[in-house]
Amino acid sequence: MITMPSTSLLLAWQLKGKRVLIVGGGDVASGRLESVLAAEAVVTLISPRHGLHPKTLNLFEQHPNIILYHDRDFSGAQDLEGVDMVLTAIDDPNTSRYISNLARERHIPVNVADIPHLCDFYFGSQIQRGNLQILISTNGQSPKLANIIKKQIESNLPESTPKAIENVGLLRAKLRERAPGIGGDVGKKRMRWMIDVCNKWSLDDLALLDDRGIERMLDLGWEKETVISTSEAGIPHFFHFKFPEYTLPAAAGFFAGSIMICLVVFARQRR
Amino acid sequence: MITMPSTSLLLAWQLKGKRVLIVGGGDVASGRLESVLAAEAVVTLISPRHGLHPKTLNLFEQHPNIILYHDRDFSGAQDLEGVDMVLTAIDDPNTSRYISNLARERHIPVNVADIPHLCDFYFGSQIQRGNLQILISTNGQSPKLANIIKKQIESNLPESTPKAIENVGLLRAKLRERAPGIGGDVGKKRMRWMIDVCNKWSLDDLALLDDRGIERMLDLGWEKETVISTSEAGIPHFFHFKFPEYTLPAAAGFFAGSIMICLVVFARQRR
């Protein structure tokens, strides 16, 4: 029987300072370990030493104070104490099911590699560039295709994007200092203005903002309930011009067409 | 002080049959409600009736049996009983903090709209096409930019992608029937073969697979430890040819170049 998975809710999980338990130390476990370390989690890893992949050992060396390692098999409910998330990547389906059940009874989110129905969440292919993170999930249908689609998206992503995000984040933080308060009318006004900025300015322009530009946007824009132009913010104009993508093929075609007619005319004249 | 958020772990959360509590009924809450309903969650929504947005009321009408509605304010810990996830979107920071604390004490993942430090996870901009789901997160720096980047990615996404994912999912499920077992050598062999298929075939080709093609891939490919070609799988060749993207600008350039030289020659002859 082929059952189709249901739609997931894709979320950006905050693991900073949270304790993640990883059961297993092989190739898949090393990938999990890498992901949660990037999110600044505190990790406990349980696996007999002979099962450790070189990549896992490598991560141990790089993060000696963040990973607590136990050289043994999973030993039961006591291993789940104080744990905020459980990831297992072992070759034993029965132990996997046992761990998953224990975690679920305790309301601890759990992922069991390769056994979807024991998982509260799935991993996918992830792009990370500065504060920009993109998750590509095929709902468990094909991790490899997720990876291929990830590469396509990565190659199309404008280089300016991470810098644009950083600058908008700074602008937003400075705006919050100028007009503080959570929610309510000021919150709505801030949100409205930030949306106007992002709609009026391109990603490339936002990436070129500097501290002075940010101050100008606030002084001459926010304070006067408008959004200033790039030149008013002090972004030089020559940065602006970009050849459109089709310039090169069009020029090559133009050149080829010219040459061809020249040759035709030349051939006719020689006759 | 401007603090930078830490990297998130992006995950595809399974909410099918899970109980999600939403506190609030306004515009933001209606967006949350829509997202969790798409993931087949069972929802309890708490909000005084006068605070309900027309979009929220609309979703109530569309999903009468899945949403349990309470016409009142949040009343305390008892509202969290049996709940798997908590989302709040209200204009009262004190109540928000109170709910977040209660949820965290109980190990229930919580998101508080607009107050990042009270959140265990963030929402982002999400693309959904069949089984393909993409999450774009700016780590809370700029929801609007996430939305703009989302639209760029959406417009670049090949149309064949969701169908390719569906077909690879079917192929994988049929392969599992032929060569069952979790993990171990057979699991590795299956994984290796699926990766070879996805590397050899383009997304466009995978999207053209039909039931007969899938059977052929298994009979003539998997059984013989190889990956067959598209023509061996019975995909007609004319489907294959696709003009590259630069065809149109190159042709237009060629035409313009030809015309220009013709005009020059014509003008010289008239003299």
A83 touches chain B (CB under 8 A): no
Please provide the average confidence, as pLDDT, over all residues in chain B: 91
Is the pLDDT at B189 greater than 80, yes or no?
yes
Identify the residue with better confidence: B240 or A252: A252
pLDDT tens per residue across span B72-84: 999 999 999 999 9
- Give the pLDDT band of residue A271 (cuts 50, 70, 90): confident
Q: In sequence order, which residues have a C-beta less than 8 Å from that of residue A159 and are 6 or more positions away?
A: none
Q: How is residue B205 written in tokens?
A: 């080709």
Residue A1 is predicted with a pLDDT of: 38
Residue A75 is predicted with a pLDDT of: 97
Is the pLDDT at A201 greater than 70, yes or no?
yes
Identify the residue with better confidence: A5 or B208: B208
Nearest CA in chain A to B169: A141
Ranking B29-38, B151-160, B184-193 by mean pLDDT, the lowest is B184-193
Please provide the average confidence, as pLDDT, over all residues in chain A: 91
A34 touches chain B (CB under 8 A): no
Q: What is the DSSP letter of B218?
A: I
Return the active site residues of B. 114
* Phi-psi group of B243: left, alpha or beta (phi > 0 → left; psi -120 to 50 → alpha; rest → beta): beta
The shortest C-alpha distance from B95 to chain A (Å) reads 13
Percent of chain A with pLDDT over 70: 95
B17 touches chain A (CB under 8 A): no
Residue A152 is predicted with a pLDDT of: 95
Interface test with B, best of A4, A6, A14 (most B CBs within 10 A): A14
Which residue, chain included where needed, has tokens 């007999």?
A48
The one-letter amino acid at A69: Y
Residue B266 is predicted with a pLDDT of: 84
Nearest CA in chain B to A185: B91
Q: In sequence order, which residues have a C-beta less than 8 Å from that of residue A88 and are 6 or more positions away?
A: A22, A23, A24, A74, A95, A96, A99, A100, A110, A111, A112, A113
pLDDT tens per residue across span A144-159: 999 999 999 999 999 9
Give me the helices (H) in chain B, please.
27-38, 54-62, 93-105, 143-156, 161-178, 184-200, 203-208, 211-216, 247-270
Angle of helix B161-178 versus helix B184-200 axis, rounded to 10: 150
A253–B258: do the CB atoms touch at under 8 Å?
Answer: no
pLDDT tens per residue across span B84-142: 999 999 989 999 999 999 999 998 999 998 888 899 999 999 999 999 999 999 987 88
* Model ipTM value: 0.81
Is the pLDDT at B6 greater than 50, yes or no?
yes
| Domains delineated in chain B | 19-123 (3.40.50.720), 124-157 (3.30.160), 161-239 (no CATH)
Is the pLDDT at A43 greater than 50, yes or no?
yes
Ranking A257-266, B132-141, B238-247 by mean pLDDT, the lowest is B238-247
Q: In chain A, which residues have their Cβ closer than 8 Å to the Cβ of B11?
A: 10-11, 13, 121-124, 135
Identify the residue with better confidence: A268 or B151: B151
Is the pLDDT at A99 greater than 80, yes or no?
yes
Q: In sequence order, which residues have a C-beta less than 8 Å from that of residue A128 and are 6 or more positions away?
A: A38, A134, B7
- Give the pLDDT band of residue B262 (cuts 50, 70, 90): confident
For chain B, give me the number of helices (H) and strands (E)?
A: 9, 9
Interface test with A, best of B8, B167, B174, B266 (most A CBs within 10 A): B8
Q: What are phi and psi of A224, to 5 degrees?
A: -105, 15
Q: CA A213 from chain center: how many Å?
A: 27
A142–B182: do the CB atoms touch at under 8 Å?
Answer: no
Q: CA A135 from chain center: how many Å?
A: 6
CA nearest neighbour of B218 among B201, B239, B192, B197: B197
B66 touches chain A (CB under 8 A): no
pLDDT tens per residue across span B10-53: 999 999 999 999 999 999 999 999 999 999 999 999 999 999 99
Is the pLDDT at A32 greater than 70, yes or no?
yes
Residue B242 is predicted with a pLDDT of: 65
Round to whole Å and give the CA distance between A158 and B248. 23
A183–B35: do the CB atoms touch at under 8 Å?
Answer: no
Which residue, chain included where needed, has tokens 């100008």?
A216
Q: From the list B92, B131, B262, which residue is nearest A261 (CB)?
A: B262
Is the pLDDT at A218 greater than 60, yes or no?
yes
Q: In chain A, which residues have their Cβ closer than 8 Å to the Cβ of B107?
A: 84, 106-108
